[in-house]
Amino acid sequence: MTKPDRRRRFDFPAIAGYAVAVGSVGAALGVSRWLDVHAVTAPVSLFLCAVMFSAWFGGFGPGLLATSLSILAFKYYYAMPLHSLAADVKEIPRILVLALSALFAGLLSAAQRRATGSFRRARDDLAQTVQALERSNQALRAENVERVRAEEALRNAQADLARVARLTTMGELAASIAHEVNQPLMAVVTNADTCLRWLAKDPPDLDETREAAERIVSAGHRAADIIRTIRTLARKSATEVTRFDVNSAISEVLALTSGELRRYDVLLETQLSAGLEPVSGDRGQIQQVILNLTVNAIEAMTAGRHTPRVLRVSSQMAGRNNVLIAVADTGTGLDPTTVDGIFDAFFTTKPDGMGMGLSICRSIVEAHGGRLWASSNSPRGSIFQFTVPAAASEALNARESRNASESLNDSAG
């Protein structure tokens, strides 16, 4: 680096300044003597130059030394009586003028030197500050990259967590889901047996055979529908935004939980409005929310001994731009002392609960631009309801929808 070198030039030991003062006055004297010898009147200004140079190089002290030496040399060589340090009275004004001008020139020079020095120092300080700024800027940039990476990791972790929560819920339902798949399977097997029996008759009864075969087909489709829902919920994939019908999404989830309802003797009431606008969003995620709320409702009802156990799932338009989905139960209800915390992560009232379900539900709903809230059911139990903006209203507010899908990606799960 060149900067520290340039600095060092001004950090000579003070003695150097004095040496320069002596040298420069000596040089000025030499030059003026040489000019004298060649019959040219020696200019006094050479001494002024020596003083200025010394003051510029070494500062005030060397300047003063050079001034003194110059006066002495001038007296000795150029003021009467010559070659003596004693001064004639008539010469005193000349010497004084020289002394004053030398002093003045020296002071100015020294002042200028100081100014230059402080200017240089300021410039160096500035350079240093700039350098420090550059360094911290680089650090910030690195930090930013780190932050983006951390955000992505968080997003992935959230998606994994949501999936784990989904799979946990489905694991809890495994017995019921197995039952739901087994039912159409039972129908298929029985109908197929029936088919074979009609065919084995002599003559085969083709009408009956056909009827039984048709029943096989419809039961097979039913099994496939159930398996498709399971796969949708279990898959690991990025957020997939589509337009879909909320009622069919609800029906699929309820088909999955009907075994659970039967198992716990829960009566299901559905009120799905026929005039719903389609919504746009991730169908699997919305189904996860419905599944979660449904399973919570069943658990709230089986926790107590209250009967009847009624699960009411409804959908309707809320205003022109939102679809409202409500899941109401007749279970233990909300505890007013903890109701504010139910959507917080790790909040749970279940002995083996993870406390992530409702927190994930809320982040999914909010990422879709909707709202999820809980209230008390009458005379007993609780109602969880959430809104999802209708697809049409989203198209009107393209910007909002873009924001929604961006934050949707943020909490993808």
| Contacting positions for other proteins (CB under 8 A) | 175, 178-179, 182-191, 193-194, 197-198, 208, 211-212, 215, 218-219, 222, 259, 261-263, 265, 267
In angstroms, give the least distance from the CB of 365 to other proteins. Answer: 30
Looking at the Cβ atoms of 16 and 186, the one nearer to other proteins is 186
Gap between the Cα atoms of 293 and 300, Å rounded? 10
- Pair 29, 77: CB distance under 8 Å: yes
Please report how close the Cβ of residue 208 comes to other proteins at its closest, in angstroms.
Answer: 7
The first and second tokens of residue 44, run together, are 């006094």
Strands 310-318 and 267-272, by their bridges, are: parallel
Cβ distance to other proteins smaller for residue 211 or 245: 211
User: Is residue 152 exposed (0-12), middle (13-18) or buried (19+ Cβ within 10 Å)?
Assistant: exposed
* Gyration radius from the chain CA atoms: 48
Picking from 397, 374, 395, the residue whose alpha carbon sits closest to that of residue 386 is 374
Neighbours of 127 (CB within 10 A): 11
Minimal distance, residue 207 CB to other proteins, in Å? 12
Nearer of residues 212 and 325 to other proteins, judged by Cβ:
212
Q: Which is nearer to other proteins, 43 or 171 (CB)?
A: 171
Q: Minimum CB separation from other proteins for residue 212, in Å?
A: 5
Residue 181: CB minimum distance to other proteins, A: 10
CB of 198 vs other proteins, minimal distance in Å: 6
CB contact set of 281 (below 8 Å; sequence gap of 6+):
241, 242, 244, 368, 388, 408
Report the residue number, 95 or 199, with the smaller CB distance to other proteins.
199
- The Cα 206–Cα 201 span in angstroms is 10
In the bound state with other proteins, the residue whose beta carbon lies nearer, of 309 and 368, is: 309
d(CA 411, CA 405): 10
Q: Which helix (H) or strand (E) holds 165?
A: helix 92-172
Smallest gap from Cβ 297 to other proteins, in A, equals: 16
Which lies closer to other proteins via its Cβ, residue 195 or residue 364? 195
Per-residue burial over 365-381, b if 16 or more Cβ lie within 10 Å, else e, is bbbbbbebebeebeeeb
The strand pairing partners of 328, in sequence order, are 312, 383
By beta-carbon proximity to other proteins, the closer residue of 208 and 410 is 208
Rounded-to-integer distance, Cα 10 and Cα 16, Å: 11
Q: Which residue, 261 or 286, has its beta carbon nearer to other proteins?
A: 261
- Nearest partner of 172 among 345, 302, 333, 267, judged by Cα: 302
What H or E segment, with its residue span, contains residue 388? strand 382-389
